[in-house]
Amino acid sequence: MFGFSFGRKKVLGIDIGASSLKIIELELRSGKPYLSNYAWMKIPDIAEKNKATGSNFFEKAIPEYLKRIIKVSDISTKKVYASIPSFGGLITLIDFPKMTSADMEQAIKFEAHKYIPTSLDEVVISWEIIKDEVGEEKDTNKNVQVLLVAASRNKVLAYEKIIKDSNLKLLGIEMENLAMVDSLVGNDLGNFIILDIGYRVCNIIYTEKGIIKANRNIDAGGSDITRTIATSLGITPERAEMMKVSGKDFFSIESSLNFPAIDLIVGEISRIIGALPKKENGSSVDALILSGGTANFAGLEKFIADKLGLKTMVGNPFGRIGYDKNVEPAIEKIKNQFSVAMGLALKGIEDLREK
């Protein structure tokens, strides 16, 4: 756990992961987002704890961890934007004819039944009309394109309770893949794939001009890579985890291992790319952006670039904000893990600008 503070008015982005908590604190300084604090804390594997205790460890323990990290890191603001996991949620684009806002709301509720395999009473729905880069609706003659987002009402209520029990004030909840796009792509006009490899789940997001066009969640993550190293080398998971983060290149000819989880991820990305319309130069994707705790796994960036034939890079969610350059060495080591928290905090800054 670590952090620093300058004591100004701030907004928090809180990412509750499967094995860690990440917090970004931003302030609006001279009209631009500025980093005033950040914090990170390892927590027990939530899924395993739920199994072991036979109770809802998540809702009971996370508020206590949040209160602890906020106290130790000297975070003073209570205003929070939080995320919910992408798996189990829905993000899709729907075309509608132009109509009034009231009629649009009714049309969206009617159309949502086609995409949501449950009662609308069980989900929370939000939507927005997509604008082009000059602020106009994409089709000014007949149709508009609407981004529909839906999430389990019970899950949203659970996260609301966690933030409340942490003695914080919740200003907004957003799905984590939307937050990642905000911090890693922003207003860039290219076509990108974000590959976020978390502890248990991998998010694959395809965006065009900052809009999510395709999204997949795979049950494969950093824990699977650790397990493969442990099994292949006959060592403990703890030792395997240490080797995973040591900088050793397991993709090299000398020590090449087969990682089924990574093969699964690469295969799914290939299927997404294969379904995209081809550009004249043959490529539909400008670059692949790596994110999550596994993004710095030695050799992974080159392995994926070679397999997919794509420009591949580790994302930098801190690249769109200002911060004290004295903390740059520390940020460089952990930046890839803060894409969700940063996107949430940037959402808070955007809302401050509009007030």
pLDDT reported for residue 355? 67
Q: What is the pLDDT of residue 121?
A: 85
The model's pTM: 0.87
- Whether 181 and 343 have beta carbons less than 8 Å apart is answered as yes
- Residue 205 CB partners (closer than 8 Å, separation 6+): 177, 180, 181, 193, 194, 196, 212, 214, 215
Question: Dihedral (C-alpha) 204, 205, 206, 212: value to the nearest 10 degrees?
Answer: 160
b vs e for 182-211, b when ≥16 Cβ sit within 10 Å of the residue's Cβ?
A: bbbbeeeeebbbbbbbbbbbbbbbbbbbbb
Q: Where along the chain do the CATH 3.30.1490.300 domains lie? A: 90-150
Q: Decide: 58 and 139 in contact? Cβ < 8 Å.
A: no
Q: With contact defined as beta carbons under 8 Å apart, do 320 and 186 qualify?
A: yes
Residue 220 has φ and ψ, to the nearest 5°, of -155, 135
Q: Mind listing the pLDDT tens digit of every residue in the chain (355 residues)?
A: 333 334 457 899 999 988 889 999 999 998 899 999 999 998 876 666 666 665 577 788 999 999 999 999 999 899 999 999 887 788 888 888 888 888 888 888 888 888 887 788 888 988 888 854 434 444 455 688 888 899 989 999 999 999 999 999 999 999 999 999 999 998 888 999 999 998 889 999 999 988 999 899 999 999 999 999 999 999 999 999 999 999 999 998 777 789 999 999 999 999 999 988 776 555 689 999 999 989 999 999 999 999 999 999 999 999 999 999 999 999 998 899 999 999 999 999 998 887 6
CA pair distance 245, 16, nearest whole angstrom: 22
Topology of the domain covering 90-150: Dna Ligase; domain 1 (3.30.1490)
Please tell me the class of the 191-314 domain. alpha beta
Number of helices (H), then strands (E), in the chain: 11, 13
Quick one: three-class SS letters along 269-294?
HHHHHHCCCCCCCCCCCCEEEEECCC
Residue with tokens 């800054």: 349
Alpha helices in 28-152 (DSSP H): 46-53, 57-72, 101-112
Q: What pLDDT, on a 0 to 100 scale, did the predictor assign at position 117?
A: 77
Q: How far apart are CA 137 and CA 326, in angstroms?
A: 43
CA-closest candidate to residue 335, choices 35, 75, 30: 35
Q: What is the pLDDT of residue 5?
A: 38
Angle at 115 between CA 112 and CA 121, to 5 degrees: 55
CA 128 – CA 32 distance, rounded (Å):
24
pLDDT number for residue 50? 61
CATH 3.30.420.40 residue spans of the chain: 191-314
